[in-house]
A and B are shown apart, each in its own frame.
Chain A
Amino acid sequence: MNTSESAGRIAAARARVAALDLSRANPADPQGFVDDSARFLFERLRREDPVHLSHSPVPGIDTYWSVTRYRDIMHVDTKHDVFSSENGITLMDFPPGDDQQLKMFIAMDPPKHDEQRKAVSPIVAPANLKNWHELIRERTCAVLDSLPRNETFDWVDKVSIELTTYMLATLFDFPLEDRRLLTHWSDISTANKLTNPDAPEPEVRMAELRKMLGYFTRLWNERVNAAPRSDLVSMLAHGAATRNMGPLEYMGNLVLLIVGGNDTTRNSMTGGLLALHDNPNEMQKLRANPALVESMVSEIIRWQTPLAYMRRTVMSDTELGGKQLKKGDKLAMWYLSGNRDESAIPEPDRFIIDRPNPRQHLSFGFGIHRCVGNRLAELQLKILWEEILRRFDSIEVVGEPVRVCSSFVRGFSKLPVRLH
Chain B
Amino acid sequence: MPRVTFVAFDGTPHIVEADCGTSLMRAATDGRVPGIDGDCGGNCACATCHVYVDPAWSERVGVRTGTEREMLNLVPDFQDNSRLACQITLDDSLNGMVVAVPESQH
> Which positions in A face B, CB cutoff 8 Å?
74, 77-78, 110, 114, 117-118, 121-122, 124-126, 357, 359-360, 364, 366-368, 370, 375
Query: With A78-B67, A125-B76, A359-B39 in contact, is A366–B104 under 8 Å at CB?
Result: no
Contact A370 B43 (CB under 8 A): no
Contact A125 B104 (CB under 8 A): yes
Contact B45 A367 (CB under 8 A): yes
5 contacts between A and B (CB under 8 A): A78-B44, A110-B70, A122-B76, A359-B37, A360-B41
Contact B74 A368 (CB under 8 A): yes
- Across chains A and B, the number of contacting residue pairs, with CB separation under 8 Å, is 53
Residue of A77, A357, A370 touching B74 (CB-CB under 8 A) = A370
Contact A121 B74 (CB under 8 A): yes
Contact B74 A360 (CB under 8 A): no
Contact B45 A78 (CB under 8 A): yes
Query: With A78-B67, A126-B103, A370-B46 in contact, is A114–B74 under 8 Å at CB?
Result: yes
Residue of A78, A126, A357, A367 touching B76 (CB-CB under 8 A) = A126
- Closest A residue to B75 by CB, please name it: A121
Residue of A121, A124, A357, A366 touching B46 (CB-CB under 8 A) = A366
Question: Closest 7 CB pairs between A and B?
Answer: A366-B45, A125-B76, A359-B39, A126-B103, A78-B45, A126-B104, A367-B45
Contact B40 A360 (CB under 8 A): yes
The contact size tier of chain B is: 20 to 34
Residues of A within 8 A of B103 (CB): 126
Q: Nearest chain B CB to A274's CB is how many angstroms away? A: 24
Residues of B within 8 A of A360 (CB): 39-41
- Residues of chain B from 63 to 77 with CB closer than 8 A to chain A in the complex: 67, 70-71, 73-74, 76-77
Residues of B within 8 A of A122 (CB): 76
- Closest B residue to A114 by CB, please name it: B73
- Residues of chain B from 37 to 96 with CB closer than 8 A to chain A in the complex: 37-41, 43-48, 67, 70-71, 73-74, 76-77
Q: Nearest chain B CB to A246's CB is how many angstroms away? A: 25
Residues of A within 8 A of B76 (CB): 121-122, 124-126
Residues of B within 8 A of A124 (CB): 76
Q: Nearest chain B CB to A394's CB is how many angstroms away? A: 32
Residues of B within 8 A of A77 (CB): 45
Residues of A within 8 A of B45 (CB): 74, 77-78, 366-367, 370
Residues of B within 8 A of A364 (CB): 39, 46
Q: Nearest chain B CB to A110's CB is how many angstroms away? A: 7
Query: With A74-B40, A366-B43 in contact, is A117–B74 under 8 Å at CB?
Result: yes
Give the CA-CA distance A74 to B38 in the complex, in Å. 14
- Closest B residue to A75 by CB, please name it: B43
Contact A78 B74 (CB under 8 A): no
Residues of B within 8 A of A110 (CB): 70
Residues of A within 8 A of B41 (CB): 357, 360
Q: Nearest chain B CB to A374's CB is how many angstroms away? A: 9
Q: Nearest chain B CB to A397's CB is how many angstroms away? A: 30
Q: Nearest chain A CB to B86's CB is how many angstroms away? A: 12
Q: 1/0 per position for B3-29, CB-CB distance to A under 8 A?
A: 000000000000000000000000000
